[in-house]
């Protein structure tokens, strides 16, 4: 018991009106002498045992008085109280692990549930979504209604006492042990553990400068917010600390002093410390035995000091305590066990040892928070009641009148059996295709599903032509597959959205050659935001851009020009295999401007087809040209990466993008007052503007494309603009003129509504009718059309200089409005002149002298409208001679259709055809004839050996002692043919999407999206063979859904620069190291390298890859894991708990050495014999590596080390 000798004897003389008393009717039930076991089976009233304030009590403003008392569980001490920070609720937890909540100042029971079966609740903290309850060895989170959100168990031996929120998603927990734990509430995982001195931390507070930790030894320590290191220490009490609080620059503490042999005594002096000077000020003497204290800052920084017997005193921390400021909490002899103050400072809550919670307030209309959200209540149980029937009402429904059921009379609803007999609907006839292909075994017939009807559905009306198709028919088997009847599907097969069908082997057995028989590389479509694949191909097939971005290299982590350069390098190397734009699209997602323009699509928008792709790709076109223009003209010292020399293209003052697409534009604004303002700017593309159609005139006038294009470039429009002369907004005529012609004219078609589509359709009809009339007037040419080649031209034997020779007739010009060639010139007298020009003809020398130029159509990007798949984007590209020369060794030009990984040669007229029912124009590129000659088209690889030298880690905690690798010295630089052991580990960004078919097979719709997390390269020869020279952890800014720790060894926090202890780098930095090794010509040794390079987004030539998966593989047999191979051949037990990329890379090198040893020893026959034994052993063991110490004779048959130097590392 506490010492009462110092209490003022006049305390009993205070009027009871200042302090509420218990209702006399409630006193017997609150008698502390009552045996608690008698009440254990009693069901308490749902509203709680509410003790109301007598009517005679009037709460005085500014003076705290008791408002309510509630008995939660009689006789069970209340060990924690907490005012909810989001809602008007008060929480309590008791000694037996039970929690209850009460709503508002009336203390109505809201929820009640068991948190822990045995331990007491020591701390309660409310969150936005739930409430945290801390017990001795558990942290649990519940919804306010009592549903478990998570249960976080502590380490064995933990004795937790307090927690504190450091931000919305992170908390610290401390107790009577030598550490404090930081937990991330998003992942519900421990992120850090800070060591503290014994006996641990019992109380924690926080300010904007420090964490304050109270210890049972009587000390208060001040710790750094980031590192938790101790900065200052106050030795407050000689015995123990009971409570402390911090406000502004003051810290006040109460506790116990040591009294020698008599033990501890409550100290009536509060210790007060000034946090500016870090020293104690005059202690504050109080008139109660302090157990709890809190600052209650309202109009002053006053302190509330609470004793265990219920006395409460208010005083200023720097003034003298006044006896008149004491009031008493009526606990009926019970001791106070917990205390809390509401965030509004208007309410105090006390929990006592008898199970009561007391609410005190300084105002009758109290609110716990300044801004509380509305609390959700359970819906009351609604009992249906019969409506009152008005018999006299004429319109009363007779069905509402209850009728007695008699067994004699038949009800009208009892239909006769003849009319109620079930009559099943007649089954539709079996598809003739099924009957034709069916094979009968016994009495069962088997046939392939022709997929002409929806799955598991039978139409009510059997139509002769079924218009509905199932989802599996979205993907064409092949662009040159079986012909389809034209009335069944409007969109030609090659234009439809193509998707990859995944099998157990992933992509390995998918036949991309079905879709692409050329040697150009397609792009895979399953990556987020891959809608821009068609535009990436467009930029690649513009030779100056291809060379520009491959010469460009800068130090920005996310540079689209650099990433395009890496991607174009892969497209150059590929021989028809598709590539991925994953790294480019990853960098694209991090550009703030792309997000602001709405160019980053959500997965759901891409899959459901909600995105307006036509408008989106035009915005993307404008964005990418502007972004490349900015990135390639930035002059921040040398442009190269980490000291490499500057490229020839990058060193010029202006951007190649500006020279290629840029057009100097003069914008003139003429106010009606006569003042003209002229501004000059550079524009990279133009937008089509169509004439306004008069609603009274039903027919649309005929226009020439060149005429519309000229009006769109030299735009004239009226708008409201600010006039400096008139000093107000005035109607202004704005005119745009161009001063020079660009080398490549980029046009956004802006066909975004039915009105513009109708305009294109009508103009194409006008042009088609003209062509038909012209053909009818001309005499027929006695020329037989050449037959189409049966196979696509890969070697150019049957191709002319223009590719395939198609005989263009007027009939082929249907849906064509745009010309294939334009003549453009700028004269001082007439300005810009644009006219159509016959495609094959050249300009006369006089016209060239006047500055006229010919522009050939080189790119069209249509938006394919397809209701079944949501539509897609494709590109028609006129591929130039240089590309054919590099890829196929022939010199000619040819139009191709690029539809992701489908590539097919097409006729030139098809590129200009736009049937707006399904094919909408989006983007067009016209290129000046022979414009390449102005540009330096040489590519100098900007990646130099300096990328392999030592670099700093991004991680703050990484130290040299933790280094797991030794960077290459200048003398160790790799040469062509050198061996490098490689292994990579990955994390998952998006989970796989799959469906389970009715036959039990799984079909992968979308594979999981992986991101490289760790890359390790080890030396493959020399004195340091097996020593890593790259061991980079890749920092990622994207959300990781699965670290795959069991398989990757990557743990949460390893990729976070703030807390990682690993050597952390950017993906671009490590990518450059690997690119340099590939360009040097080293040979990579590893296990399953195909997937590694695919996720890293690198293309490596086959003769540079030595994959142990295939070295130790027999045809038509399963692939063997690295772990089993290491055990069998090397007697190594690897990958025990998790994978380690250094260990895996070394093991792969050792296995390659073993393979060379076997090959040299006995040739191919010896290798085949060894592999046969390997597969037999694997089948016996079910491909599982036996435990090392089983002693059952299952040890490895080979136990010789391949190179001891590696084993010693």
Query: Would you state the pLDDT for residue 127?
Result: 93
Closest CA to 289 of 323, 254, 260, 239: 254
460 pLDDT band, cuts 50/70/90, is low
> pLDDT at residue 650 above 50?
no
1054 pLDDT band, cuts 50/70/90, is confident
Place of tokens 């964005």: 623
Query: Would you state the pLDDT for residue 972?
Result: 85
Average pLDDT over residues 1191-1198: 47
Query: Would you state the pLDDT for residue 258?
Result: 86
Query: Would you state the pLDDT for residue 160?
Result: 92
317 pLDDT band, cuts 50/70/90, is confident
Average pLDDT over residues 887-908: 88
Contact 48, 92 (CB under 8 A): no
List strand residue ranges (DSSP E) for 637-740, in order: 663-671, 676-683, 686-687, 716-723, 728-738
504 pLDDT band, cuts 50/70/90, is low
* Positive or negative: CA dihedral 1100, 1101, 1105, 1109: positive
List strand residue ranges (DSSP E) for 454-567, in order: none
> pLDDT at residue 9 above 50?
no
Backbone angles phi, psi at 922, to 5 degrees: -125, -55
Identify the helix (H) or strand (E) that includes residue 1123. helix 1122-1130
Average pLDDT over residues 720-737: 84
11 CB-contact burial (10 Å; exposed 0-12 / middle 13-18 / buried 19+): middle
- Give SS3 for 987: strand
- DSSP class of 1185: P
Q: Which of 63-67, 150-154, 571-575 has the lowest mean pLDDT?
A: 63-67
Backbone angles phi, psi at 614, to 5 degrees: -60, -50
| Token pair of 338 as six digits | 């917990």
| Token pair of 984 as six digits | 């990579």
> pLDDT at residue 801 above 90?
no
> pLDDT at residue 1047 above 90?
no
Backbone angles phi, psi at 633, to 5 degrees: -105, -5
Rounded distance between C-alpha atoms, residue 285 and residue 269, angstroms: 4
The residues facing 1030 across adjacent strands are 1017
Q: Which of 412-416, 570-574, 907-911, 1145-1149 has the lowest mean pLDDT?
A: 412-416
Contacts of 97 (CB under 8 A, 6+ apart): 114, 115, 116, 117, 118, 119, 120, 121, 135
| Token pair of 1046 as six digits | 């069991």
Task: Kindly report the average pLDDT of the chain as a whole number.
Answer: 80
pLDDT, tens digit, for every residue of 821-835?
999 998 877 788 999
> pLDDT at residue 31 above 60?
no
777 pLDDT band, cuts 50/70/90, is confident
The residues facing 190 across adjacent strands are 183
Rounded distance between C-alpha atoms, residue 685 and residue 687, angstroms: 7
- Give SS3 for 730: strand
Neighbours of 907 (CB within 10 A): 17
| Token pair of 932 as six digits | 């390449």
Contact 284, 317 (CB under 8 A): yes
Place of tokens 């005989």: 807
Burial 678-702 (b: 16+ CB within 10 A, else e): eeeeebbbbebebeebeeeeeebee
215 pLDDT band, cuts 50/70/90, is very high
Identify the helix (H) or strand (E) that includes residue 292. strand 292-297
Q: Helices (DSSP H) in 838-890: which residue ranges?
A: 845-849, 881-888
> pLDDT at residue 292 above 90?
yes
Contacts of 432 (CB under 8 A, 6+ apart): none
Q: Which of 106-115, 235-244, 494-503, 533-542 has the lowest mean pLDDT?
A: 494-503
- 432-436, 875-879, 1141-1145, range with greatest mean pLDDT: 875-879
Query: Would you state the pLDDT for residue 1188?
Result: 56
Q: Is the peptide bond before 366 cis (omega within 30 degrees of 0)?
A: no
Percent over 70 (pLDDT), the chain: 81
152 CB-contact burial (10 Å; exposed 0-12 / middle 13-18 / buried 19+): middle
Closest CA to 1093 of 503, 1102, 1035, 1044: 1102
Rounded distance between C-alpha atoms, residue 973 and residue 1206, angstroms: 20
Contact 504, 1003 (CB under 8 A): no
- Give SS3 for 1173: helix
pLDDT, tens digit, for every residue of 228-277?
899 999 999 988 999 999 998 999 999 999 877 778 889 989 999 999 99
> How far apart, in Å, do the first and last CA atoms of the chain sit?
66
- DSSP class of 870: T
> pLDDT at residue 1208 above 80?
no
- 25-34, 541-550, 1038-1047, range with greatest mean pLDDT: 541-550
Q: Name the residue with higher pLDDT: 952 or 708.
A: 708
Backbone angles phi, psi at 148, to 5 degrees: -70, 130
Rounded distance between C-alpha atoms, residue 182 and residue 205, angstroms: 15
Rounded distance between C-alpha atoms, residue 649 and residue 76, angstroms: 81
Query: Would you state the pLDDT for residue 780?
Result: 61
Rounded distance between C-alpha atoms, residue 113 and residue 582, angstroms: 49
Q: Which of 327-331, 516-520, 530-534, 951-955 has the lowest mean pLDDT?
A: 951-955
Q: Name the residue with higher pLDDT: 505 or 521.
A: 521
pLDDT, tens digit, for every residue of 347-386?
999 999 999 999 999 887 889 999 899 998 887 766 666 6
* Positive or negative: CA dihedral 543, 544, 547, 553: negative
Crossing angle of the two packed helices 533-540 and 543-551, in degrees rounded to 10: 90
> pLDDT at residue 436 above 90?
no
Average pLDDT over residues 105-122: 92
Query: Would you state the pLDDT for residue 12?
Result: 42
Query: Would you state the pLDDT for residue 57?
Result: 43
Q: Name the residue with higher pLDDT: 875 or 318.
A: 875
Query: Would you state the pLDDT for residue 505?
Result: 54
> pLDDT at residue 27 above 50?
no
Rounded distance between C-alpha atoms, residue 670 and residue 364, angstroms: 69
List strand residue ranges (DSSP E) for 298-441, in order: 301-306, 311-315, 326-328, 336-341, 347-352, 356-361, 439-441
Query: Would you state the pLDDT for residue 721?
Result: 82
Query: Would you state the pLDDT for residue 695?
Result: 63
Q: How far is CA 769 from the centre of its chain?
A: 52
Q: Which of 212-216, 255-259, 407-411 has the lowest mean pLDDT?
A: 407-411
Per residue, the 3-state secondary structure of 1024-1066, as one string, reads CCCCEEEEEEECCCCCCCECCHHHHCCCCCCCCCCCCCCCEEC
> pLDDT at residue 488 above 50?
no
Query: Would you state the pLDDT for residue 564?
Result: 93
Query: Would you state the pLDDT for residue 120?
Result: 93
508 pLDDT band, cuts 50/70/90, is low
pLDDT, tens digit, for every residue of 599-647?
988 766 666 667 788 899 999 999 999 999 988 886 433 344 444 433 3
Contact 792, 903 (CB under 8 A): no
Average pLDDT over residues 948-957: 72
Q: Which of 128-132, 152-156, 646-650, 702-706 has the lowest mean pLDDT?
A: 646-650
Rounded distance between C-alpha atoms, residue 14 and residue 11, angstroms: 6
Q: What distances in angstroms separate CA 473 from CA 497, 543, 868, one per listed residue?
A: 11, 38, 10
Q: Which long-range contacts (CB under 8 A, 24 or more apart) does 905-909 make?
A: 905/518, 905/792, 905/793, 905/803, 905/804, 906/876, 907/804, 907/806, 907/808, 907/812, 908/806, 908/808, 908/820, 908/839, 908/878, 909/806, 909/808, 909/812, 909/813, 909/816
> pLDDT at residue 538 above 90?
yes
* Positive or negative: CA dihedral 776, 781, 787, 789: negative
271 CB-contact burial (10 Å; exposed 0-12 / middle 13-18 / buried 19+): buried
Rounded distance between C-alpha atoms, residue 898 and residue 875, angstroms: 5
Query: Would you state the pLDDT for residue 540?
Result: 93
Query: Would you state the pLDDT for residue 1053?
Result: 73
> pLDDT at residue 1204 above 50?
no
Rounded distance between C-alpha atoms, residue 321 and residue 304, angstroms: 11
Contact 1135, 1203 (CB under 8 A): no
Q: Which of 854-858, 987-991, 1095-1099 has the lowest mean pLDDT?
A: 987-991
Contacts of 483 (CB under 8 A, 6+ apart): none
Average pLDDT over residues 339-347: 92
Percent over 90 (pLDDT), the chain: 32
């Amino acid at each position: 018991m506490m010492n009462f000798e110092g209490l003022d004897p006049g305390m009993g003389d205070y009027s009871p009106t200042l302090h509420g008393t218990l209702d006399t009717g409630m006193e017997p039930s609150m008698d502390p002498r009552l045996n608690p076991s008698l009440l254990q089976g009693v069901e308490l009233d749902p509203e709680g045992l509410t003790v109301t304030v007598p009517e005679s009590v009037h709460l005085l403003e500014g003076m705290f008085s008791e408002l309510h008392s509630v008995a939660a569980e009689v006789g069970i001490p209340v060990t924690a109280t907490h005012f909810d920070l989001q809602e008007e609720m008060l929480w309590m937890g008791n000694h037996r692990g039970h929690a209850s909540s009460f709503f508002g100042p009336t203390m109505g029971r809201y929820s009640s549930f068991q948190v822990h079966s045995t331990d007491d609740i020591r701390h309660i903290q409310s969150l936005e979504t739930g409430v945290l309850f801390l017990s001795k060895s558990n942290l649990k989170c519940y919804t306010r209604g009592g549903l478990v959100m998570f249960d976080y168990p502590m380490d064995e031996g933990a004795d937790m006492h307090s927690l504190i929120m450091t931000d919305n998603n992170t908390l610290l927990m401390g107790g009577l042990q030598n550490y404090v734990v930081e937990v991330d509430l998003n992942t519900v995982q421990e992120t850090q553990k800070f060591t503290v001195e014994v006996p641990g931390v019992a109380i924690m507070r926080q300010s904007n400068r420090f964490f304050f930790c109270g210890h049972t030894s009587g000390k208060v320590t001040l710790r750094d917010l980031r590192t938790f290191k101790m900065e200052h220490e106050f030795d407050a009490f000689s015995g123990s600390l009971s409570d402390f609080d911090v406000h502004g620059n003051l810290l006040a503490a109460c506790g116990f002093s040591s009294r020698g042999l008599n033990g501890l005594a409550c100290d009536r002096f509060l210790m007060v410390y000034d946090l500016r000077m870090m020293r104690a000020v005059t202690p504050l003497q109080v008139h109660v035995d302090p157990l709890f204290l809190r600052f209650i800052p309202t109009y002053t920084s006053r302190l509330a000091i609470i004793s265990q017997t219920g006395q409460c005193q208010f005083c200023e921390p720097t003034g003298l305590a006044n006896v008149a400021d004491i009031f008493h909490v009526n606990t009926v002899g019970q001791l106070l066990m917990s205390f809390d103050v509401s965030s509004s400072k208007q309410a105090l809550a006390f929990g006592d040892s008898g199970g009561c919670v007391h609410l005190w307030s300084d105002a009758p209309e109290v609110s716990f928070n300044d801004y509380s959200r509305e609390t959700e209540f359970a819906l009351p149980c609604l009992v249906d009641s019969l409506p009152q029937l008005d018999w006299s009402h004429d319109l009363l429904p007779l069905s509402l009148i209850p009728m007695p059921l008699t067994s004699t009379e038949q009800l009208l609803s009892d239909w006769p059996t003849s009319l109620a007999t079930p009559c099943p609907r007649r089954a539709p006839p079996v598809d003739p295709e099924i009957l034709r292909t069916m094979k009968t075994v016994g009495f069962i017939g088997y046939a392939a599903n022709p997929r002409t009807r929806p799955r598991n559905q039978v139409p009510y009306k059997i139509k002769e032509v079924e218009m509905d198709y199932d989802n599996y028919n979205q993907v064409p088997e092949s662009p040159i597959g079986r012909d389809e009847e034209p009335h069944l599907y409007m969109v030609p097969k090659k234009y439809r959205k193509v998707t990859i069908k995944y099998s157990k082997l992933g992509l390995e057995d998918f036949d991309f050659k079905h879709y692409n028989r050329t040697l150009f590389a397609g792009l895979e479509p399953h990556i987020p935001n891959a809608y821009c694949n068609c535009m990436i191909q467009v930029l690649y097939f513009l030779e100056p851009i291809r060379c520009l971005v491959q010469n460009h290299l800068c130090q920005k982590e996310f540079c689209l020009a650099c990433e395009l350069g890496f991607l174009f390098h892969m497209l150059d190397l590929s021989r028809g295999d598709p590539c991925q734009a994953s790294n480019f699209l990853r960098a694209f997602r991090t550009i703030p401007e792309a997000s602001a323009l709405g160019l980053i699509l959500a997965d759901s928008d891409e899959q459901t087809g909600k995105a307006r792709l036509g408008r989106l790709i035009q915005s993307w076109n404008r964005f990418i040209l502007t972004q490349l223009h900015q990135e390639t003209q930035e002059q921040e010292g040398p442009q190269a990466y980490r000291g490499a020399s500057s490229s020839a293209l990058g060193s010029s003052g202006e951007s190649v993008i500006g020279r290629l697409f840029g057009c100097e534009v003069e914008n003139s604004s003429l106010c009606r007052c006569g003042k003209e303002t002229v501004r000059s700017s550079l524009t990279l593309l133009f937008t089509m503007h169509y004439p306004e159609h008069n609603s009274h005139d039903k027919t649309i006038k005929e226009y020439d494309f060149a005429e519309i294009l000229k009006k769109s470039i030299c735009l004239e429009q009226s708008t409201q603009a600010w006039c400096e002369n008139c000093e107000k907004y005035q109607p202004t005529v704005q005119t745009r003129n161009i001063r020079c012609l660009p080398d490549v004219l980029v046009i956004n078609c802006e066909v975004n509504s039915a009105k513009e589509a109708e305009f294109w359709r009508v103009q194409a009809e006008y042009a088609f009718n003209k062509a038909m009339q012209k053909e009818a007037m001309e005499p027929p040419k006695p020329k037989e059309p050449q037959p189409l080649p049966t196979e696509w031209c890969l070697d150019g034997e049957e191709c002319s200089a223009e590719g395939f020779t198609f005989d263009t007739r007027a009939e082929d010009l249907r849906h064509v409005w745009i010309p294939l060639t334009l003549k453009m010139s700028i004269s001082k007298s007439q300005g810009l002149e644009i006219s159509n020009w016959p495609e094959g003809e050249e300009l006369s020398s006089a016209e060239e002298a006047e500055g006229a130029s010919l522009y050939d159509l080189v790119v069209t990007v249509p938006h394919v409208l397809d209701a079944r798949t949501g539509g897609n984007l494709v590109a028609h590209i006129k591929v130039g001679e240089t590309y054919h020369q590099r890829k196929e060794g022939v010199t000619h030009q040819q139009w191709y259709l690029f539809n992701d990984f489908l590539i097919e040669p097409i006729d030139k007229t098809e590129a200009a055809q736009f049937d707006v029912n399904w094919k909408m124009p989006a983007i067009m590129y016209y290129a000046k004839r022979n414009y390449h000659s102005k540009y330096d088209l040489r590519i100098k690889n900007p990646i130099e050996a300096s990328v392999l030298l030592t670099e700093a880690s991004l991680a703050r905690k990484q130290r040299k002692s933790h280094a797991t690798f030794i960077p290459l010295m200048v003398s160790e630089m790799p040469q062509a043919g050198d061996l490098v052991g490689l292994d990579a580990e990955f994390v998952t960004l998006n989970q796989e999407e799959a469906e389970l078919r009715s036959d039990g097979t799984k079909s992968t719709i979308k594979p999981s999206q992986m991101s490289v997390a760790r890359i390790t390269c080890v030396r493959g020869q020399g004195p340091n063979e097996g020593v890593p020279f790259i061991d980079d952890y890749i920092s990622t800014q994207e959300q990781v859904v699965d670290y795959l720790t069991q398989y990757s060894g990557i743990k949460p926090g390893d990729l976070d620069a703030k807390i990682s202890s690993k050597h952390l780098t950017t993906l671009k930095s490590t990518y450059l190291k690997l690119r340099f090794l590939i360009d040097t010509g080293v040979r990579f040794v590893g296990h399953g390298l195909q997937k590694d390079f695919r996720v890293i987004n690198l293309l490596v030539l086959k003769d540079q890859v030595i994959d142990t998966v295939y070295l130790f593989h027999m045809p038509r047999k399963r692939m063997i894991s690295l772990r089993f191979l290491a055990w069998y051949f090397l007697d190594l037990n690897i990958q025990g708990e998790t994978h380690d990329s250094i260990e895996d890379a070394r093991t792969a090198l050792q296995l390659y050495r073993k393979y060379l040893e076997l090959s040299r020893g006995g040739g191919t026959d010896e290798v085949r014999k060894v592999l046969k034994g390997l597969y037999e052993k694997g089948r016996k063991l079910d491909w599982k590596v036996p435990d090392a110490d089983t002693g059952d004779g299952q040890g490895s048959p080979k136990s010789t080390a391949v190179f001891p130097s590696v084993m010693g590392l």
